Structures are given as structure tokens and as C-alpha cells.
Amino acid sequence: GQRQRVAMGRALARRPKLYLFDEPLSNLDAKLRVEMRHQIKRLHQKLNTTIVYVTHDQIEAMTLADRIAVMKDGELQQLGTPQEIYTKPNNMFVAGFMGSPSMNFIKTMVDLDEEQNPIIKVTGTAEQEHHIRLPQSMRDQDGKELVIGLRPEHITEQEGDDVSATTKLDLQLEVLEPTGPDIIAMVKVNDQEVACRLSPEFEVSVGQMAPLHFDLSKAVFFDAQTEARIDF
């Protein structure tokens, strides 16, 4: 950490109009990374000068940036605020890069119910099938593969704010990872592994069936072929 501080001090002495930080924290241990990240944040607030900050660490990007440019293979995937990148990712690459654990991707297919309304189907551990209504604008997508993107914090033991947009599934808890403030649980939906975030007060054990609520008002839908976000 001392070398990074010296390098930053030299850069500050020059008073440039723009700073370029190229992965300045990559060789530090976890504790030092957090300390240096705080220092860089304070520095930016004090100087009010533009900083171009290159990083592969999504936590650094989310905590330090006013705007984030997500790159892949030299091409810009999305430019936006941290909140825009997190809640409205342009594609599955951006969605999967941001967040820890990253966004869940559940493959499904658009179907029509008996009343010709567009729906998608999700199946849990006990093979119970749930139909989720889609907007009528998706009616012409009958038979098309979709990917539901849902972050772990939107799959919990508690109902979401919008009860009408919440789907409950009884799922077997296959892996439990206590982190302190929460529990990361792994379950299967449509035969795909999905991470959910549970309260530490929720007393559960591996192998147990648990009723979990999927807050689909927070879901992002992607085209399974192009991996681009679909806006209804």
C-alpha cells in the first residue's frame, strides 16, 4: 500500500486536469484494498477532478464511479450510472459482471395460455409448475426462448413489495453459505442452479424444502439468442 500512496502523491503534486488510475489496487490484500478505495473516494470528492479508473473489480467500479463504462473484447457494452448498470443491464454480459453473487439467469420459453395470453413457465424442486403472465406485446413471441435475469436479493423467504408480481416456489436448499448479514442459498429452478439471499434469522438446513418468493417486478428479460435486454 505504501507504493500506491507514494505514486498517488506524485500524481497529485502535478495538479493535472485528469487522472488515470490503471488497476491501482490489484496487488493489495483485501483489507488494504478497502482502505485505499476509501482514500481514493475521499480524494475524488476533495479535488472534484475527473478520474478515469480502470478495474476488473466490480465492487471498485460500483463504489467509486459516477459513471461506468463496461467493456468486453475492446467494445463498449454499456455506459451509465452504477444504478443503471445494476438494474437495467444492456445484456447478459453486463448483468453477470455486476453483483456478488452475480445475477441468476433462468432459461424459459414464451407460451400462450388457454386465453391466448403470453406466459412463461417456471418449475421448482417438487415439479410444481407456475405460469407467469407477460405483457400482451409479447404475444407474437410465442415459442421464443427467453432468459429471466433475477438477482439473489430478489429471491428470498419474504414476499416482495409488489405481492401481485411475486411467485412462490417450494425449493430444496442444496447449498447454504452463511456470510454474517445474510445466507446465500443455492437451489434449482427449471433444472438450473440459482442463488438466493436469505435472512440469517431464517432457520434452515441443507436438504430442507423452503418456500421462496421470486420478486418478478425486479426481473430483467433477455433474448436467449442475442443475450440483449428485452424491454416490454
The arithmetic mean of pLDDT across residues 153-159, rounded, is 91
Domains of the chain: which residue ranges?
A: 1-97, 104-223
**Distance, CA of 135 to CA of 119 (rounded, Å):** 9
Position 232 scores a pLDDT of 74
- CB atoms closer than 10 angstroms to residue 23: 12
Tell me, what amino acid is at 193? Answer: E
**Distance, CA of 155 to CA of 141 (rounded, Å):** 26
**109 closest CA partner among 131, 81, 83:** 131
Q: Does residue 52 contact residue 20 with C-beta atoms inside 8 Å? A: yes
**Distance, CA of 188 to CA of 186 (rounded, Å):** 7
Q: Does residue 125 contact residue 185 with C-beta atoms inside 8 Å? A: no
DSSP per-residue letters across 74-118: TEEEEEE-HHHHHHS-SBHHHHHHSTTTTPEEEEEE-EE-TT--E
Give the fold, CATH level 3, of 1-97: Rossmann fold (3.40.50)
**Distance, CA of 232 to CA of 220 (rounded, Å):** 10
Tens-place pLDDT, residues 79-90: 999 999 999 999
**In a 3-state reduction of DSSP, which class is residue 131?**
strand
- For the entire predicted model, the pTM comes to 0.86
Tens-place pLDDT, residues 166-225: 888 889 999 999 999 999 999 999 889 999 999 999 989 999 999 999 998 899 999 999
**Distance, CA of 227 to CA of 40 (rounded, Å):** 35
Helical segments of the chain, H only: 2-13, 30-47, 58-64, 82-87, 92-97
DSSP 8-state code for residue 58 = H
The bridge status of strand 50-54 relative to strand 18-22 is parallel
Tell me, what amino acid is at 66? Answer: D
Tell me, what amino acid is at 1? Answer: G
Position 1 scores a pLDDT of 60
Using the CB atoms, write b or e for 100-124: b if 16+ within 10 Å.
eeebbbbebebbeeeeeebbbebeb
| CATH 2.40.50.140 for the 104-223 domain, yes or no | yes
- Higher local confidence (pLDDT), 113 or 68: 68
